Structure formats: C-alpha cells, structure tokens
Amino acid sequence: MLSNRAKRSVSISALRRSSASHNKATISTAIWRAADIIIEKGKRIAAEALEAAEADIRFEEGRFIVAGTDRAIDLLRVAAIAREAEDPLDTYYAWTREWMTFPNGAHVVEVEIDRDTGEVNLARYTAVDDYGVVVNPMVAAGQAHGAIDQGAGQALLERAHYDPGSGQVLAGSFMYYPLLRADDLVSFELRFNPTRCMTNPLGVKGCGEAGMVGAFPAITNAVLDALTRLGMNEIDGPATAYRVWRLISSADRRSGAKVNLTLRIEADAEDGFSEADIGVVRDNARQLKFKAESAGFE
C-alpha cells in the first residue's frame, strides 16, 4: 500500500561481474606455484640430510618426512642447509593471469520513503554472493559490507559538485561531500554460495567491489519502484531527500492541476449546457478525482 508517510518497496539486482579485486587470484596463484617449486627443491635437500630416497620424502605441516617412518626435518632447517650449500630455496615465479574471474550474486533491498520529506531509509538488505573458494570468511564479509556501504552512499547521498564557470570542485571536503554513517545503514543479511573458479588453481574469485556493484542498482531500483505509481520512471543522481521530495511534489502538483481543470470545466459547463451534459461532466470529474486519490494524490 502507498501511505502518506512511507512506501515500502523491494528490488532485485543481478550481480554480473567485477573485473578488479584480482590480487587474490593473481598474487596467491604465484605464491602457490612458487611454494610448489620450493617444496620440490626442499625434497632433494631433505633426502640428502635424512639419507633417504627423494621419492620417499613427503612434505606435511612444515616438515619433510620420510614415508613410513618418524624421521623428519623441518623446513627452516632445510632452508639453512640449502643456503650453506649455496643453493638456497629462494624462488622467483612470475604468473600472468590469462582469464578473468566472475563473481556473481543477487542483492535484494527494501526501502521506506517518507512522503512528506522525501527521505529514503533502508529497511532491509539481503545479499547472496558467489566469491569462489572463500579463504577467510570474516575478511570476505568485511569487504562485502564495506562495498555495500559504498554502493548505498552512491545511490542515496554522494555527488561531486563543480563550479560551472571555473570547474573548481565545490565538494572538496566531507563538510560538503556527504557519506553514509553507521546509523544510516541496516544490519546486512549476507550469505555466501561459493562455486569453485576454474581459471586459477585456488578456485578463488574477486570480492572487493562486488557489493558496490550490486548495491547501487538494487537501491536505486527500489526507490524507483516506490515512485512508479506517481508517474516517475527515472531519477537523476543520488536519491537525496530533497531530490525525492521534489519529484513527489511535482507529481502532486500535476495531479492537482488535472483535477482542478476538470472541476473548472464542470463549473463553466453549468452556464451553457443541459442538465444531462452537466451530469456527464460531473461524473467524469468525480472519476478522475477518484483515480488520483487511489494513486496516492491528495
């Protein structure tokens, strides 16, 4: 229902892809493969130190172990032996990413709009994201929360202002460039639905910008959904309270003008038309007024 105070609306935005946030896939893959090379080097050194065949050496939990025995030597000792022999375990590995990662998900937003002031408040925010293999869930959730906050700020408040004559930025400090605060947000309902990425050995995907990519369109679409019945299908820039209030006021004025015009026609018609004609005009006026009130106009 559309009330005089608030409109609740839900919008779903599909999250397609974020092309940055690639460090986990690129740097971690380089480290992974460099570590494999170090282990292979270490097996040779450990086999000599333990007087065993290299094929019998396993690497587990930081130690080189002779299979089937309790004989072992730790990685740091092997590194010291290798350095003393002037054959250090130090390894350089360069890896160039050949394919992108494709994080994806869906963000669902519910907003409340105060019709008298135009203020937009987040009521609920739910997101389900696929970031591939999640190495550290706490860090991934923190990145998602920060990115959602940034996307919400872009949708509701943030805008750079410039002097039209000089091009000088007018929103050069946080005194003039608003950011969302903690009390402007809600507790995010965040879930991970991971599928392993096939373009890197770790199976990871980027997640740094994913929340922002989903938040901005989801919130903006929710606001537009609330304003659709007022005849609005687009909004230029962030949905600030002033901008939304102007849109609502403009819609109210247009509706009021239509009703008043019909009532004036009805009044003028009384002087020159028959009772039947006047009755038709009155009925049309009442119907138009009823439709306007049903759409939420006063």
Pairwise CA distance, residues 248 & 228, whole Å? 11
**Within this chain, do residues 54 and 125 fall inside the same structural domain, yes or no?**
no
Pairwise CA distance, residues 101 & 25, whole Å? 8
**pLDDT of res. 176:** 85
Which range marks the domain in which residue 61 is found?
25-84
Residue 1 falls inside a structural domain: no
**Within this chain, do residues 210 and 251 fall inside the same structural domain, yes or no?**
no
**Within this chain, do residues 51 and 164 fall inside the same structural domain, yes or no?**
no
Pairwise CA distance, residues 123 & 218, whole Å? 13
pLDDT(57) > 80? yes
Query: What pTM does this model have?
Result: 0.68
**Within this chain, do residues 135 and 48 fall inside the same structural domain, yes or no?**
no
Residue 91 falls inside a structural domain: no
Pairwise CA distance, residues 69 & 226, whole Å? 70
C-alpha gyration radius of the chain: 32
Residue 184 falls inside a structural domain: yes
pLDDT(129) > 90? yes
How many domains is the chain partitioned into structurally?
3
Residue 31 falls inside a structural domain: yes
Residue 108 falls inside a structural domain: yes
**Within this chain, do residues 61 and 169 fall inside the same structural domain, yes or no?**
no
Q: Which of 207, 230, 253 is the last residue of a domain?
A: 230
Give the tens place of pLDDT for each residue, 157-174. Answer: 998 888 999 999 988 888
Pairwise CA distance, residues 224 & 213, whole Å? 18
Angle, CA of 254, 260 and 264, to the nearest 5°: 145
**pLDDT of res. 263:** 47
**Within this chain, do residues 79 and 171 fall inside the same structural domain, yes or no?**
no
**Within this chain, do residues 14 and 49 fall inside the same structural domain, yes or no?**
no
pLDDT(196) > 50? yes
**Within this chain, do residues 122 and 70 fall inside the same structural domain, yes or no?**
no
- Place 27 in a pLDDT band, splitting at 50, 70 and 90: confident
**Within this chain, do residues 179 and 218 fall inside the same structural domain, yes or no?**
yes
Pairwise CA distance, residues 89 & 21, whole Å? 30
Percent pLDDT > 70 in the chain is 78
**Within this chain, do residues 13 and 140 fall inside the same structural domain, yes or no?**
yes
